[in-house]
């Protein structure tokens, strides 16, 4: 996909990637989705809200380029322009890392709002990578959101936590409190999906999860070895070698942009004997 | 996987090794510097601006500090936009 230049005013749309439960793939998804949007020509910034446990920088592969961070900007120690890291692969993609040394109390609602407002002037998409849990960092990551991607594994504790987060999205956000605007548009991104285990009756199906959560589906990301590989090298899955997870993330990005794409589940292909003997590339 | 004692995946780059290297490098920096590297940078910037102001009239946002960390070398790049010609410009515009 080539990068198209857009002359119109930026969209300034805020999307939170959240889940409640940790380890379900929020940062992986935030990295993949922001890279996917940037790849489609939308000027995109991805913000790490997990103060004290910075990790988005490693997943994006820019950990050695962090000088100033989100907290420095909020506290007036640095300008936003200084803290934004321009991606080396896509010129429409920027990363705003968080602080590794402060804690969540360094985030203030006024500070976050000021930074988001400044970003809205320049970016089409502002992706907020929420920390796990439902405390301050997670609340502020979702507070100003227009849309939410609730990352969920087909597993009981993850689905339960997602349900809790969906409740917060419909009550503890600016859109919910204002009352006069549309509610936050929330969709589920089902990750670590394993068709084999579903077929054997060991895993809840997509329909099971959707029936419980009662929100639309943004995409189904299959369990894939490509995710660990991509994180090892610091490349968002969408920019790494082709994989089933990459295809699924690309589809999810298209749906986020409003395209009506058929839901397809491409499971990780097991290499055949021939492939195993002669090596494979993905 | 291996068969007959040699790896069949030799052509594939070992990403686990990349992951290990990236982490070692990063954690060495984060642990070694106590409270963490970047924290002194805002103060450093303020001090630098104060020093430069003793000699040249510059605005806060005309000083830019960037740091790049690599395997062997870390570089701190300080860019100062000096006021234009009429005010007698001082020497170094870029210092590395």
Provide, rounded to the nearest whole percent, the portion of chain A with pLDDT above 90: 84
Contact B9 A279 (CB under 8 A): yes
Q: Does A55 touch chain B (CB under 8 A)?
A: no
Average pLDDT, chain A: 92
For residues A155-180, give the mean pLDDT: 94
Assign A128 to helix, strand or coil. strand
Closest residue to A276, CB basis, from B1, B18, B36: B1
Write the burial class of residue A142 (CB in 10 Å: 0-12 exposed, 13-18 middle, 19+ buried): buried
Q: Does A67 touch chain B (CB under 8 A)?
A: yes
Chain B residues near residue A79 by CB distance under 8 angstroms? 61
Contact B66 A64 (CB under 8 A): no
pLDDT for B95 equals 44
For residues A7-27, give the mean pLDDT: 94
Contact B18 A232 (CB under 8 A): yes
Name the residue among A30, A92, A15 with its Cα closest to residue A238: A30
Chain B residues near residue A64 by CB distance under 8 angstroms? 25-26, 68-70
Chain B residues near residue A78 by CB distance under 8 angstroms? 41-42, 45
Among A64, A240, A281, most B C-beta atoms within 10 A, so best to mutate, is: A64
Contact A279 B18 (CB under 8 A): no
Q: How many CB atoms lie within 10 A of CB A1?
A: 8
Integer Cα distance of A200 and A17 in angstroms? 30
pLDDT for A102 equals 85
For B30, nearest residue in chain A (alpha carbons): A100
Token code pair at residue A191: 């990750």
A93-96 and A125-129 strand pairing: unpaired
pLDDT for B10 equals 55
Give the model confidence (pLDDT) of A223-258 as tens digits: 999 999 999 999 999 999 999 999 999 999 999 999
Name the residue among A280, A277, A241, A247 with its Cα closest to residue A262: A247
Token code pair at residue A202: 């060991």
* Three-class DSSP labels, chain B: CEECCEECCCCCCCHHHHHHHHHHHHHHHHHHCCCCHHHHHHHHHHHHHHHHHHHCCCCHHHEEEEEEECCCCEEEEEEECCCCCCCCCCCCCEEC
For residues A105-124, give the mean pLDDT: 96
Q: What is the ipTM score, two decimals? A: 0.73
For B19, nearest residue in chain A (alpha carbons): A232
Contact B15 A233 (CB under 8 A): yes
pLDDT for A5 equals 54
Among B42, B69, B76, most A C-beta atoms within 10 A, so best to mutate, is: B42
Give the model confidence (pLDDT) of A42-85 as tens digits: 999 999 999 999 999 999 999 999 989 999 999 998 999 999 99
Token code pair at residue A215: 């929100």
pLDDT for B61 equals 72
Contact A64 B15 (CB under 8 A): no
Q: What is the pTM (predicted TM-score) of this model? A: 0.80
Contact A101 B36 (CB under 8 A): yes
CA B25 to chain centre: 13
Integer Cα distance of A54 and A100 in angstroms? 5
């Amino acid at each position: 996909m080539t990068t198209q230049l857009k002359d119109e005013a930026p969209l300034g749309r805020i999307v939170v990637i959240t889940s409640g439960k940790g380890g379900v793939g929020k940062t992986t998804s935030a990295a993949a989705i922001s890279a996917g949007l940037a790849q489609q020509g939308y000027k995109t910034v991805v913000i790490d809200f997990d103060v004290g446990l910075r990790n988005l920088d490693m997943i994006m592969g820019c950990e050695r380029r962090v000088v100033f961070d989100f907290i420095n900007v909020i506290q007036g120690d640095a300008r936003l322009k200084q803290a934004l890291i321009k991606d080396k692969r896509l010129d429409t993609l920027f990363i705003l890392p968080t602080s590794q040394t402060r804690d969540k109390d360094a985030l203030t609602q006024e500070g976050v709002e000021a930074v988001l407002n400044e970003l809205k002037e320049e970016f089409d998409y502002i992706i907020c990578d929420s920390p796990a849990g439902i405390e301050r960092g997670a609340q502020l990551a979702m507070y100003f959101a227009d849309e939410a991607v609730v990352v969920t594994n087909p597993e009981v504790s993850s689905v339960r936590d997602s349900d809790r987060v969906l409740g917060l999205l419909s009550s503890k956000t600016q859109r919910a409190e204002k009352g006069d605007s549309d509610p936050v548009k929330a969709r589920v991104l089902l990750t670590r999906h394993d068709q084999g285990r579903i077929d054997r009756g060991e895993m809840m199906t997509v329909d099971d999860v959707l029936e419980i959560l009662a929100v639309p589906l943004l995409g189904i990301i299959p369990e894939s070895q490509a995710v660990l590989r991509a994180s090892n090298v610091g490349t968002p899955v969408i920019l790494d070698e082709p994989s089933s997870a990459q295809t699924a993330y690309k589809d999810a990005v298209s749906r986020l942009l409003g395209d009506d794409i058929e839901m397809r589940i491409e499971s990780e292909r097991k290499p055949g004997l021939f492939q195993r003997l002669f090596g494979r590339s993905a | 996987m291996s068969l007959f004692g040699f790896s069949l995946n030799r052509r594939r780059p070992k990403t686990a090794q990349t992951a290990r290297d990236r982490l070692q490098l990063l954690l060495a920096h984060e642990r070694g510097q106590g409270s963490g590297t970047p924290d002194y940078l805002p103060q450093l910037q303020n001090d630098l601006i104060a020093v430069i102001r003793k000699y040249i009239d510059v605005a806060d946002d005309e000083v830019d500090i960037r740091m790049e960390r690599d395997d062997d070398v870390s570089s701190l790049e300080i860019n100062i936009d000096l006021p234009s010609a009429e005010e007698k410009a001082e020497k170094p515009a870029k210092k590395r």
